[in-house]
Amino acid sequence: MIAENLKRVLEEIPTGVTLVAVSKTKSVSDILEAYSAGQRDFGENKIQEMVGKYEQLPKDIRWHMIGHVQTNKIKYMASFVSLIHGVDQEKTLQEIDKQAKKYRRIIPCLLQVKIADEDTKFGFHPEEVATLLNSNVLQKLPNTKVVGLMGMATFTEDTAQIQSEFQFLKNLYDTWKDTYSWTTLSMGMSQDYAIAVASGSNMIRVGSKIFGYR
Ligand SMILES: *Cc1c(COP(=O)(O)O)cnc(C)c1O
């Protein structure tokens, strides 16, 4: 079932769009089923859960931290995490840089931007992104590389609203893309990835449509 679901999603997205299979709460055997079907990018939203799975699973898996990042737990994933999507504070970048240094790595990160019309979603306000990028903060963090943006649209049936939120993020991404040689715009989940891809996303994070409901 998982392999078929994966195939269906992959058939729907153009080449050049990376599918991150969101495996949070799912078992190691579910992940292995997707792995056997060729999937290598997996997303988790809790650092400790990701570390546990990393230890048990093949080492060519690329692990994506898509959830809110607690600074005191960055040390547990710093040796292996492939991309941190949920950076929403300068303080988080400082700590990622400090931990990455210990492993002589440069950890790729995305700035999470608040685009939804909801109070609960984490993320920088768009103006804060501009302030950060206009400052010299990033230059002082050699072991951290911001490679793009991440955002979550409002949970709504209103596709016009979702589209306008994704379009907003795409515009913000385009504003800074060349200056910082960005590569990655992470937007789109099970319910809205088609809209996200049509709006210019090149990385989607899909969980329930692959692994079933949580
Ligand atoms: C859970 C989660 C997803 C995947 O959600 P689905 O609706 O299951 O596809 C994507 N992004 C983030 C940040 C998540 O927490």
CATH value of 2-211 in 3.40.50.740, 3.20.20.10, 3.40.109.10, 3.40.50.11810: 3.20.20.10
d(Cα 190, Cα 143) in Å, to the nearest integer? 32
* Structure token pair of residue 23: 């495996």
- Ligand 1 atom nearest the C-alpha of 22 is 4
- pLDDT, tens digit (0-9, with 9 covering 90-100), for 94-124: 999 999 999 999 999 999 999 998 876 689 9
CA of 139 relative to ligand 1 center, distance in Å: 31
Task: State phi, psi for 159 to the nearest 5 degrees.
Answer: -65, -30
Q: What is the mean pLDDT of the chain?
A: 97
Residues 6+ positions from 169 with CB-CB distance below 8 Å: 113, 115, 149, 151, 185, 187, 199
Q: Are 165 and 154 in contact (CB under 8 A)?
A: yes
pLDDT tier, 214 (very low <50, low <70, confident <90, very high otherwise): confident
- Counting residues of the chain whose pLDDT is more than 90, the rounded percentage is 96
pLDDT tier, 150 (very low <50, low <70, confident <90, very high otherwise): very high
pLDDT tier, 172 (very low <50, low <70, confident <90, very high otherwise): very high
Residue identifier of the C-alpha nearest atom 6 of ligand 1: 207
- pLDDT, tens digit (0-9, with 9 covering 90-100), for 33-86: 999 999 999 999 999 999 999 999 999 999 999 999 999 999 999 999 999 999
- What is the structure's pLDDT at 33? 98
Q: Are 200 and 17 in contact (CB under 8 A)?
A: no
**Residue 208 beta carbon below 6 angstroms from any ligand 1 atom:** yes
- What is the structure's pLDDT at 69? 96
**Residue 84 beta carbon below 6 angstroms from any ligand 1 atom:** no
Q: Which residue out of 24, 85, 205 has the highest number of ligand 1 atoms within 8 Å of its CB and is therefore the one to mutate? A: 205
Residue ranges per structural domain of the chain: 2-211
Residue identifier of the C-alpha nearest atom 7 of ligand 1: 190
- What is the structure's pLDDT at 122? 86
Does 197 score more than 90 pLDDT? yes
- Ligand 1 atom nearest the C-alpha of 86 is 13
Residue identifier of the C-alpha nearest atom 12 of ligand 1: 66
- What is the structure's pLDDT at 119? 76
- What is the structure's pLDDT at 120? 67
Residues 6+ positions from 159 with CB-CB distance below 8 Å: 195
